[in-house]
Amino acid sequence: MIMQTSMMSQLLSMPLFQGLTMDELMKLLEQVRPDFLHFEDAYIQRSGERHNRLLYILRGKVIRELPGPGNRYLFTEVLDESTFIEISSLFGRNTTLRASYRAVGEAVLLAFDKSYMFNVFGQFSIVQLNILNLYCAYAQSLLERQSLPIGDDIHTLFCHFVRSLCENPRGEKQLKMTRDDLALQLGCNRRRMSELIVSWQKAGLVNLSYSQIAIPDLKRLQNYRPPRQNTAI
């Protein structure tokens, strides 16, 4: 398999292949057939579909859309380049995708059939270690999201709820959810919830549209200290 030097260098920088020599990578690629997938303003995969390929974002903007139970909400975020798509769903009891993924503009992804993780990648101890590190990193990130401090105020509860839905801590987040459902989710009064959201908007921390809250910078929102009277549950 003959590939451009720049592409080989890009492959060697992937978390999956870091530590391999160029010769080792060439040997690996003689046994696998990676696909380069091009999408333009189209869905890459949808929630509920079988996840049978290791998908890696090489270039472009990919949106993750996570539906809530009973479609009570829809959470969206932008995934960074050099990111694997939902690696947690490749194996285990449930191998269907939790979220949908779509390209905004042009996006290029690298795809490996997950069977290669057994019959080829297993021949390279460094790749096996990289796979283990990827899954451990995901598990640690999930534990950190679940272990975020929870206070008794609406602001802290909301930020914890949004962070628990994120795969990427950076970038803009959007939560499409009615005020009634959001108040129910947080166990608070709808009026108090609305007052707090308006205070976030006035502080330039969120952008509001019909049943949708856009959060340009979640960390900035987390660090905001709202007036005490607006946070009672």
Q: How confident is the model at residue 4 (pLDDT cuts 50, 70, 90)?
A: low
Q: What is the pLDDT of residues 43-84, one digit of tens each?
A: 999 999 999 999 999 999 999 999 999 889 999 999 988 899
Per DSSP, the three-state class of 218 is helix
Q: What is the pLDDT of residues 95-145, one digit of tens each?
A: 999 999 999 999 999 999 999 988 899 899 999 999 999 999 888 888 877
Mean pLDDT of the chain: 89
CA distance 185 to 188: 8
Q: How confident is the model at residue 170 (pLDDT cuts 50, 70, 90)?
A: confident
Q: Is the dihedral of CA 166, 167, 169, 170 positive or negative?
A: negative
Q: Which of 8, 20, 10 is nearest to 129 (CA)?
A: 20
Per DSSP, the three-state class of 3 is coil
DSSP annotation of 69: G
Considering the entire predicted model, what is its pTM?
0.86
Asked whether the predicted pLDDT for residue 233 surpasses 80, the reply is no
Instruction: Check for a shared fold between 8-63+77-145 and 150-230.
Output: yes
CATH of domain 150-230: 2.60.120.10
Backbone φ, ψ for residue 35 (5° rounding)? -110, 135
CATH of domain 8-63+77-145: 2.60.120.10
DSSP string, 129-151: HHHHHHHHHHHHHHHHHHTS---
Domain ranges of the chain: 8-63+77-145, 150-230
Decide if 159 contacts 65 (C-beta within 8 A): no
Tokens of 53: 């390929």
